[in-house]
Amino acid sequence: MSQGTLFDKVWDLHTVGTLPSGQTQLFIGLHLIHEVTSPQAFAMLRDRGLKVLLPERTVATVDHIVPTDNQARPFADDLAEEMMQAIEQNCQANSITFYNIGSGNQGVVHVIAPEQGLTQPGMTIACGDSHTSTHGAFGAIAFGIGTSQVRDVLASQTLALSKLKVRKIEVNGVLAPGVYAKDVILHIIRTLGVTGGVGYAYEFAGTTFEQMSMEERMTICNMAIEGGARCGYVNPDQVTFDYLKGRDFAPKAADWQQAVAWWQSLRSDADAVYDDLTVFDAADIPPTVTWGITPGQGIGVNQQVPTLDSLPESDRYLAEEAYQYMDLAPGQAIAGTKIDVCFIGSCTNGRISDLREAAKIAQGRHVAEGITAFVVPGSERVKQQAEAEGLDKIFAAAGFEWREAGCSMCLAMNSDKLQGRQISASSSNRNFKGRQGSSSGRTLLMSPAMVAAAAVQGAVTDVRKLL
Amino acid sequence: MSQIKSVTGRGIPLVGNDIDTDRIIPARFLRCVTFDGLGAQVFADDRAQTQGQHAFDQPQYQGATLLVVNRNFGCGSSREHAPQAIAKWGIRAIVGESFAEIFLGNCVAIGMPCVTADSASLQQLQDWLAENPRNSATLDLAAMQVNFGNHSISVCMGEGPRNMFLSGTWDACGQLVAQADQVQKMAVKLPYVSWSRAVH
Ligand code: SF4
C-alpha cells in the first residue's frame, strides 16, 4: 500500500466516507462535461427527480462532434445538431458554465480546462472521457468516468471508487533532439504494455519529466490510460506554478501564496512508499511509431515490425491480428511506409507547442503529392495563438489545411474520416481498428513533428533527418 | 434496485485480447442522446467484416446472456455506450481474463457483473460453450464460480463490487446523494473551492 504520495494525500483530503460496499465516496473538485457522454446522464437525473448539487463545480464544452470546417448552425449532421442542442439546454437549465463554439474558450475539454487555469494541483477531477488523465500533469488526480458516473457527480459531486495502487515511473536524463514527450509515453506503454497500469495510478517522476513544460507533461499524462492506468500525474513544481500564474481561474492576490504553499505540501514525500517502481533512461528513447492496433504495439522509427518469435507468447495472437489488419509484414521496416492522411491535433498533441514543433518541420517544405494533411488546433485559444504567431500561414504554405478547434479525426465523429484502407500518420492517442472513421482504416501514432515529417516525405520518416 | 446473486443462461464465447470500446461500439453510433438502439449496433464493424461469422451473428448464440471474453476487454474510451450496447443486445454478465478499469466501473454502474478467471479456465469455458451453445451456464456470485455441464471454474471479483451486487446496492447514486450535507461541508473546507470561485 502506497503512503505519502501525492495520490494518497489528495485521496485522503477528498474522502467523504466509506460506502457499505467498502468503496470510498470521493469528492470531485472539478467536473468537466461534453456533448457525447452527458445527455444520457442528464436524462437519468430527470428520471430520478435529482438536481445538480454544485453546478458551479461543473464546466462544459463541445468537442467530439463539432465540424472543423463549416461550423454554421444548424450543423449539416442532424444527429450532431441534436447533441449540440441537448448540451446547450442541459447547461442552461442547470446553470452550468458552457463554453460554446465562438466563445473564444471552446475546444477539446482536456485542452481548455488547463489553459484557463481550471485544472489545478491537488484537485480531484472527473470527466466522461478516458483522457481525463491529462489533468494529472498539474498534480491533480483525474479520472475518466462513464455516463452513470457523470450522473453521480452531477447529483452528488462525488464518485464511488476503490483506491488505486501507485507505481512510480521514473525517467531520467535528457531527450535527444527529435525525441518528444509523445515518444516517451509511447515507449513507456510499449514496455509496460497496455494492461500494465490496470489497478494503478502512475506517478511520472525523474529529471526528464522535471525538465518538461506543462504541455509536454499533459501529453504524458494524457496517455497514461493507454497504458491501462486510470490516472497519471506529475508532482507540481515551479514549472506548474509559472504556468498557472495569471490564468483566468488561477488563485489571485493573497490567495496565490497560500495556494503555492498548499500545492507544495501535496508533493509526494521524499520517503513516500510506492507499490511499484519502474525506471527508464531518456537516452534509450528513440522517435517512436506504432505499427499495430493498440498503442502498445510501438517501435523505434528505425526498427522493424516485430517478428512473432521475438514477442512474448501472450502478445502473439494480437500481433497476428495486427499484421493482417495493418497489412504490414513481420520484419518489415516501418520507416518508408507510405501514408495517405496526416492529422495533427487532439488532446494529446493539439496544443500550441505541438503546433510549433510541427510547423518547424513544415516550414519551407511541402506536403507530398497525393497526401491529405490537416491541422486541428486543440482549442479556440490555441488557434488564435497559432495565428498570432503565423503558424497557420506556415502550414497553409506547406499544403496543410488549417481547421477549427475540436477532436476531429482523433475519433472521427465529425466529417473528418479516413476512407477505406487509407493509412494515417496521426498525433492522436489511439490506433484501434476503425478508430479514425473507416472500419478498415489504419492509424500510425507518432509525435506531431513526426507527422509533419511523414506529410512532407509521403512516408514514415525519422524526423531527425529534417531537423 | 435489485440484488444480483447469479446469472443463468446460454453463453457466447468471444475470442480475442484487447477488444476495445471503439470495436464494441464504433464512434459514429455515439451520435445520439439516448442509449436506446445501441443493442443492434454492438460490434458493428467487426460483424460487417466477418460477414456473419462473428459470434454475435451466429444463430446458435442468439439469446445468450453470459459473454465470455479474454484479456483486457473494454480497453480504450470511457464510453458507457459500450456496456450499454452489450447489455441491450441481451448480455447480463461477462466472464473474462481481465477487463479495462473504466469499462469495469461502467458495468457495475449499470448492474452487469464482470468476473475474471485464469486463462486455462476461460479456455475450458469458451470451448464448452462452442460445443454446447444450447445449454445453460450459471455465474454464481455467492460461490464465485461459473458452473457449466459437469464442470465448474472459480472466478474473481473485487470485494466492493461483489458486495454491491449481492446486497443490491450496485447503483451507488442514492447512497452518494444521501451524503449531500457532508459533501457541502467538504466543498467549503477544500481551499481551492474558494480560490476558483470565479466559476459560476
Ligand atoms: S481529442 Fe480524441 S482522445 Fe481527446 S477527448 Fe477528443 S476524441 Fe477523446
Q: Tens of pLDDT along A249-269?
A: 999 999 999 999 999 999 999
Q: Are B111 and B192 members of one domain?
A: no
Q: Whose CA is nearest to atom 2 of ligand 1?
A: A410
Q: Is residue B41 part of a domain?
A: yes
**Cell numbers 506529475: residue:** A234
Distance (Å, rounded) from C-alpha A408 to C-alpha A347? 11
Query: Are A156 and B176 within 8 A, CB to CB?
Result: yes
Separation of B135 CA from ligand 1 center, angstroms? 42
Question: At B197, is the pLDDT very low, low, confident or very high (cuts 50, 70, 90)?
Answer: low
A189 lines ligand 1 (CB under 6 A): no
Kindly state the percentage of chain A with pLDDT values over 90: 99
A62 lines ligand 1 (CB under 6 A): no
Distance (Å, rounded) from C-alpha B195 to C-alpha B190? 10
For residue A203, pLDDT beyond 70:
yes
Question: At A184, is the pLDDT very low, low, confident or very high (cuts 50, 70, 90)?
Answer: very high
Q: Are B16 and B105 members of one domain?
A: yes
Q: Are B139 and B179 members of one domain?
A: no
Which residue in A149, A324, A346 has the most chain B C-beta atoms within 10 A of its own C-beta, making it the best mutation to test that interface?
A149
We report the CATH number of the domain holding residue B149 as: 3.20.19.10
Report the complex ipTM: 0.93
For residue A94, pLDDT beyond 90:
yes
Q: Residue B44: what pLDDT?
A: 96
Q: Is residue B181 part of a domain?
A: yes
Backbone angles phi, psi at A390, to 5 degrees: 80, 15
Q: Is residue B39 part of a domain?
A: yes
- A344-369 residue pLDDT tens: 999 999 999 999 999 999 999 999 99
Query: Are A318 and B18 within 8 A, CB to CB?
Result: yes
Q: Residue B151: what pLDDT?
A: 97
Of B71, B25, B184, B60, the closest CA to residue A147 belongs to: B25
Q: Is residue B1 part of a domain?
A: no
pLDDT, average across residues A149-170: 97
Burial class, A170, CB count within 10 angstroms (exposed 0-12 / middle 13-18 / buried 19+): middle
Q: Is residue B189 part of a domain?
A: yes
Q: Are B97 and B194 members of one domain?
A: no
Q: Residue A74: what pLDDT?
A: 96
Q: Are B97 and B159 members of one domain?
A: yes
A47 shares contact with chain B (CB less than 8 Å): no
Q: Is residue B34 part of a domain?
A: yes
Burial class, B59, CB count within 10 angstroms (exposed 0-12 / middle 13-18 / buried 19+): exposed
Kindly state the percentage of chain A with pLDDT values over 70: 100
pLDDT, average across residues A148-152: 97
pLDDT, average across residues A276-304: 98
pTM for this predicted structure: 0.96
Q: Residue A21: what pLDDT?
A: 87
B1 shares contact with chain A (CB less than 8 Å): no
Radius of gyration of chain B measured on its C-alpha atoms: 19
Q: Is residue B48 part of a domain?
A: yes
Orientation angle between helical segments A352-362 and A448-457, nearest 10 degrees:
30
* A29, A129, A318: residue with CB nearest B17: A318
Separation of A249 CA from ligand 1 center, angstroms? 23
Question: At B194, is the pLDDT very low, low, confident or very high (cuts 50, 70, 90)?
Answer: confident
Distance (Å, rounded) from C-alpha A296 to C-alpha A185? 10
Radius of gyration of chain A measured on its C-alpha atoms: 21
Which B residues, 73 through 92, put their C-beta within 8 Å of a C-beta on chain A? 75-81, 83
Which residue in A33, A156, A230, A266 has the most chain B C-beta atoms within 10 A of its own C-beta, making it the best mutation to test that interface?
A156
- B144-180 residue pLDDT tens: 999 999 999 999 999 989 999 999 999 999 999 999 9
Q: Are B132 and B190 members of one domain?
A: no
A428 lines ligand 1 (CB under 6 A): yes
pLDDT, average across residues A291-319: 96
A301 lines ligand 1 (CB under 6 A): no
A22 shares contact with chain B (CB less than 8 Å): yes
Q: Residue B198: what pLDDT?
A: 46
Q: What is the DSSP letter of A134?
A: G
Cα angle: B19, vertex B6, B16; to 5 degrees:
15
- A388-444 residue pLDDT tens: 999 999 999 999 999 999 999 999 999 999 999 999 999 999 999 999 999 999 999
Query: Where is A343: in which H helix or E strand?
Result: strand A341-344
Q: Are B66 and B148 members of one domain?
A: yes
Q: Residue B200: what pLDDT?
A: 44
A226 lines ligand 1 (CB under 6 A): no
For residue A229, pLDDT beyond 70:
yes
Query: Are B175 and A20 within 8 A, CB to CB?
Result: yes
Domains: count for chain B = 2
Q: Are B26 and B105 members of one domain?
A: yes
A450 shares contact with chain B (CB less than 8 Å): no
Q: Are B55 and B38 members of one domain?
A: yes
Domain that holds residue B97: 6-169
For residue B1, pLDDT beyond 80:
no
Distance (Å, rounded) from C-alpha B112 to C-alpha B130? 23
Q: Are B165 and B176 members of one domain?
A: no
Q: Are B51 and B132 members of one domain?
A: yes
For residue A9, pLDDT beyond 50:
yes
> Average per-residue pLDDT in chain B?
95
Which positions ≥6 away from A329 have C-beta within 8 Å? A305, A323
A429 lines ligand 1 (CB under 6 A): yes
Domains of chain A: residue spans and CATH: 7-161 (3.30.499.10), 165-284 (3.40.1060.10), 288-465 (3.30.499.10)
Separation of A109 CA from ligand 1 center, angstroms? 8
Kindly state the percentage of chain B with pLDDT values over 70: 97
Q: Which one-letter amino acid corresponds to residue A288? A: T
Mutate to test the pocket of ligand 1, among A64, A106, A221 (most ligand atoms within 8 A of CB): A64
